[in-house]
Amino acid sequence: MSRTADYGLVLVGAIALLGAVAYVLFVNLDGPGLAGAGAGVGLGLINLGVGSRLTARALRQGMRSAMGLVLGGMIVRLLVLCGLVLLFHFVDGVNEVAFALSFLVLFFIYIGVEVLLVERTLQRRGGTA
């Protein structure tokens, strides 16, 4: 694996760990906190599954396609995250901070998976990161 990928994975892991620590420090594990975490983890797992498959497919089509998917996906995820945080802000039974933090931890795990997918593609093609 390239040094760039190694650094990227360490950084992604550190940010995911910081998000998990922030969750423990700032979220009450009551009903709304658990509901928010459940929604965040659920959306994060969907993102991880669907995003990984789409990224692998886009990488097979070429780097231009993959970059378009990554950029478009980032915009869509940001809009969905902001929209749901605003929605959960007005719903008493869901803690929006718990939702956002739990989703972000899984989002950074997904970024790590993307790094691995790109690295594997570059190694197969004989390129470097």
Distance (Å, whole) CA 38 – CA 99: 7
Contact 20, 105 (CB under 8 A): yes
- Tell the residue number behind the tokens 């690295």, with chain if given: 119
The continuous run of DSSP H or E covering 84 comes out as: helix 63-89
- List pLDDT tens digits, range 75-114: 998 999 999 999 999 988 999 989 998 998 898 888 888 8
Distance (Å, whole) CA 29 – CA 59: 40
Tokens found for residue 55:
């990224």
Contact 50, 116 (CB under 8 A): no
- List pLDDT tens digits, range 108-120: 888 888 888 888 8
- Domain positions in the chain: 3-125
